[in-house]
Structure 1
Amino acid sequence: MQDHKEASPVNPLPPVVVVLFLAMALPEVAFGLGARGLIGGPEAVGWRLAAVQTYSFSGDIFDWMVANGRWLPDHMIRFLSYSFVHVSFTSTLFAAVLLLALGKLVGEVLGQMAVVVLFFGGAIFGALIYGLLLNDPNWLVGGFPAVYGLIGGYSFVMWQSLGARGEQQLRAFNLIAILMGLQLVWGVFFDVGNGWVADLAGFVFGFAASAALVPGGIARVIASMRRD
């Protein structure tokens, strides 16, 4: 009689996704516990605000570095670090859920290195476009531009899959259209700021980078554009 293992009903997350999730979730746990006075003493109430000021991306600081030609490491790290600081628990939760879902898919199809490239590339490109196109004094904070990089990867995977089946490839952009639409509707009632510019830039990076990561991906995109 041979022993056999039953397949797990849930596929494990790629390790890199788990690491990114913990890097996003643990600061939020610390902020929450600190705000309730459970850790850190009285000064812990201000941990979130201090983290936003220290690690968020600043268009004003970026403009100063460009104008003076001084690329200070303490500020350059903001291109990455802002992805792991959020203004609220709800924002963290939404970003973390998207990270888990899309990171799992992208990691399984394109590989773990692709997750790293799309996540951090989306963050960097999103902040860069935010800094170059806007003159916004508000901090750019949160993991959404990085996660939108993964949405770009997911959309490219869907775009390829639909094309291989001879189906309408525009359906690959349903997710980004829904999310952008929700942001537009939300912006009618609340001041959501200009973070959507960085989000959209992250998506564009993710889609383009995925085409470069997949063998023959760029050629397929060009061929599709010529057919259209």
Structure 2
Amino acid sequence: MSDEHETEFESPFNAMPVVVVILFLIMAGIELTLTAAEAGLVGGPEAIGWRLGLVRDWGFSGDLFDAMLAQGYWAPEHLARFVTYPFIHLSFTHALIAIVLMLALGKLAAEVMGPFAMVFLFVMSGIGGALVYALLLDDPVWLVGAYPSVYGLIGGYSFLMWRRLGATGGQQMQAFSLIAMLMGLQLVWSLFSSVGYGWVAEFSGFVCGFFLSFLCAPGEWARILRKMRQR
């Protein structure tokens, strides 16, 4: 009877890898604090500007990157923006969608590739997305939000599907159906409103996640070493 009672009220986070829960708590904690501040529940009148302040202090700026590149001086506080910008969002809805995707895809990546590989994909895809955004575009719009990192997890998911379909003789192009659908939705949405160039960072994050999975997916590194030795 006691076991049934404990199972009935088991926390849904028990099924989540620890690293995914930690990322969730950081992202959700920041967003809930900012949302509460904008609602006047914490921080007083000046708290309304907290979100804008975080974007300015921890968001990623292509202009700042260009300035560092031109001067040849890589200020640590600005380099940190490559890692911090995914944890800042423009609104509650903006954060909610990113968090839901991170939970679903992060759980899959952590369970199949391992927790450290999942964090590696998340962080490096965010860095890669921001780097391409800064190098390809001359866009003054600041980059914030976990979407490039989440798209990196989609890249990891697509890699796993691509490898599985290849092993079973399936059509490997089907592995890219999710990213094709998401990019298609971006295109349709752009017909009705201005979506900006954030999709460049997001797609770049996907590409980073896919190719980094050659190192992160179980057995891939050993397979690469084996092929190198055969040569």
- TM-score, structure 2 as length reference: 0.89
Matched, 1:99 2:114: no
Matched, 1:173 2:149: no
Q: Please say if residues 211 and 218 of structure 1, whose CA atoms lie closer than 8 Å, have aligned partners that are also in contact.
A: no
Matched length: 219
1:86-115 Cα offsets, whole Å, 9 max, x none, are 011111011001000000011111100111
- For residues 3-22 of structure 1, the aligned pairs below 5 Å read 12-22=15-25
1:106-151 Cα offsets, whole Å, 9 max, x none, are 1111100111110000010000000111000010110000001110
The equivalent position to 2:56 in structure 1, one of 53, 58, 78, is 53
Letter in 1 for 2:111: E
Distance 2:169 2:37 in 1: 54
- Over the residues paired in the alignment, what is the CA RMSD in angstroms? 2.2
Distance 1:43 1:111 in 2: 42
- TM-score, structure 1 as length reference: 0.90
Q: Which residue of 1 aligns with 2:160?
A: 157
- For residues 72-221 of structure 1, the aligned pairs below 5 Å read 72-214=75-217, 215-216=219-220
1:7-44 Cα offsets, whole Å, 9 max, x none, are x8977111001111111111110111111111111111
Distance 2:163 2:52 in 1: 42
Q: Unaligned stretches of 5+ in structure 2?
A: none
SS at match of 2:170: coil
1:163-215 Cα offsets, whole Å, 9 max, x none, are 22211111111111111111111111111110101001100110101012233
Q: Please say if residues 106 and 150 of structure 1, whose CA atoms lie closer than 8 Å, have aligned partners that are also in contact.
A: yes
Distance 2:49 2:96 in 1: 20
Distance 1:47 1:37 in 2: 12
Question: Cα distance, 1:216 vs. partner?
Answer: 3.4
CA 52–203 in structure 1, closer or farther in 2 if over 3 Å, else same? same
Matched, 1:64 2:67: yes
Q: Unaligned stretches of 5+ in structure 1?
A: 224-228
